[in-house]
Amino acid sequence: MNAHEIDYVIYGEEMQYVEIELDPQEGVVAEAGSFMMMDDGIQMETIFGDGSAKNKGLIGSILGAGKRILTGESLFMTAFYNNLVGKKRISFASPYPGKILPIDLSEFGGKFICQKDAFLCAAKGVTIGIEFSKRLGRGLFGGEGFIMQKLEGDGMAFVHAGGTMAKRVLQPGEILRVDTGCIVGFTQGIDYDVEFVGGIKNTIFGGEGLFFARLQGPGTVYIQSLPFSRLAGRVLASAPQGGGKDKGEGSILGGLGNLLDGDNRF
């Protein structure tokens, strides 16, 4: 194997974290901000680029960093190594409520495609790159744009799904239509495109957006019930307006509730 062979355990239900066991000389790479805790003796190193271009010289590092800029990620990733004798453990946490999905890339032909902010961590040796869409429609209306992340190699990788995660195995020619933001990732055999919802009433009053993703098998698709964009939108919609003024749940009853509670700031 090119990637380090790591052992892991996933803990929790709604707010999960993954604990990875590193044998001597094993390592793991992670997105900045996902680290939770680690045993004493693990060495941390900040890597310029995506980590896989570390030994390919300056040009390779710059190209790796450029790919990460395109996906909206930081220029740097963090690598953690166990350079001591004996096993060491390190943990990485979910960024918001949901599930952590372990992916054995050797079972998916060495490649898995996911939305750009789904990646959490992976065994050292896994390449974190970008997947360009060759279709104009997907690029313009695909929700996550024409760039998605691709994980390549033969090791373990971990991605995060918001809310509850669904797994669908599509047979050859089988089609699944999904909200564009609800896609976590899919295997390389999936044909992915974007379709217009259609219909004037659906377009104007449907409330589900103008486009949805069309996924065609064969392959495996992972779907999340709570994309971060949807969660953030609900939080912003419920936030107090105008410097702390609560907009209320239904303006009339909301205002009445404020009055009864002694808060008469209308």
Looking at residue 26, what is its pLDDT? 92
Looking at residue 260, what is its pLDDT? 42
Is the alpha carbon torsion for 141, 144, 147, 149 positive or negative?
Answer: negative
* pTM attached to this predicted model: 0.76
Q: What is the DSSP letter of 225?
A: S
Query: What residues does each domain of the chain span?
Result: 7-238
Question: What 3-state class would DSSP assign to 39?
Answer: coil
Q: Give the count of beta carbons closer than 10 Å to the beta carbon of residue 165.
A: 18
Sequential pLDDT tens for the chain (266 residues): 577 888 999 999 888 999 999 999 999 999 878 899 999 999 999 886 555 654 455 555 556 555 556 555 666 788 999 998 899 999 999 888 899 999 999 999 999 999 878 889 999 888 888 876 655 454 444 444 456 888 999 899 999 999 899 999 999 999 999 888 888 999 999 998 887 765 455 445 444 556 778 899 999 999 998 887 776 766 777 777 655 555 444 444 454 445 444 455 44
Looking at residue 251, what is its pLDDT? 47
Which residues are bridge partners to 220 per DSSP? Answer: 169
**What Å distances lie between residue 200 and 85, 117, 125, 159, 213, CA to CA?**
66, 33, 50, 37, 19
Domain 7-238 fold is: Double-stranded beta-helix (3.60.160)
Annotate 101-152 with DSSP letters as a single string: EEEEGGGGTTEEEE-TT-EEEEETT-EEEEEE---HHHHHHSSS-SEEEEEE
13 contact partners, CB below 8 Å, separation of at least 6? none
DSSP run (H or E) holding 93 = strand 88-93
Determine the Cα–Cα distance for residues 207 and 204; give it in Å rounded to an integer. 7
71 contact partners, CB below 8 Å, separation of at least 6? 116, 130, 147, 149
The identity of residue 130, as a single letter, is I
Helices (H), 7-126: 57-70
Question: What 3-state class would DSSP assign to 217?
Answer: coil
Which residues are bridge partners to 17 per DSSP? Answer: 11, 93
Looking at residue 195, what is its pLDDT? 78
Q: How far is CA 189 from the centre of its chain?
A: 20
Looking at residue 241, what is its pLDDT? 64
Q: Give the count of beta carbons closer than 10 Å to the beta carbon of residue 205.
A: 9
Looking at residue 29, what is its pLDDT? 92
